[in-house]
Amino acid sequence: MKKAITLRVNGETREVSTDPERPLLEVLREDLDLTGTKYGCGEGHCRACTVLIDGNPVTSCFTPVSQAEGREILTIEGLARDGALHPVQEAFIEKQAMQCGYCVPGMILTSVAFLKTRSMPTLNEVSDCLSGNLCRCCNYPNILAAVELAAAKLRGERNETDA
């Protein structure tokens, strides 16, 4: 049965009328036209559908929309501010960390949350953090390099490899 649900998405309040058990991913893509969040496996195994809820990465394919009610949801569409890309987005572009790009919104949002907890991560820590995010193009070396570059940007530095 449908229910009115109020969501906070990318800083805006959005109202939907839907089955509370419906996956958040479907609501974002089909009801709110936020198609940057990707449908991969639909079973919690690839993390293409990652969004942040209250700053933490979640698989939106596996999260009932009712669980997101009243919490702050961030999708890839809400990451840039005032027309400026987030440093993680800049780093992914600079390191060419995408081929088809399908995994990239999830990779970026997972990285954004991770870099709030680690200002100077080791490569192993970056790799561990993204180990659940699958890239079907196997672009992992560039993705890891992008997250290292993003960490440097967030510290106010640039990677020497980026010169």
Closer residue to ligand FES in complex, CB, 12/48 = 48
Of 63-71, 97-105, 122-130, 148-156, the segment contacting ligand FES by CB under 6 A is: 97-105
Instruction: Give CA–CA dist 108/113, Å, rounded.
Output: 9
Min separation Cβ 40 and ligand FES, Å? 4
- DSSP string of 99-113, one letter each residue: SS-TTHHHHHHHHHH
Name which position in 7, 36, 37, 40 contacts ligand FES (CB under 6 A).
40
Residue 8, both tokens: 């906070």
Of 13-21, 66-74, 94-102, 145-153, the segment contacting ligand FES by CB under 6 A is: 94-102
Instruction: Give CA–CA dist 32/154, Å, rounded.
Output: 31
Within positions 55 to 84, which residues make up the interface with ligand FES, using CB under 6 A? 59, 61
- Alpha carbon 77 to its chain centroid, in Å, reads 10
The CA distances from residue 149 to 26, 45, 47, 131, in Å, are 32, 27, 22, 18
Positions in the binding site for ligand FES (CB under 6 A): 39-42, 44-49, 59, 61, 98-103, 135-137, 139
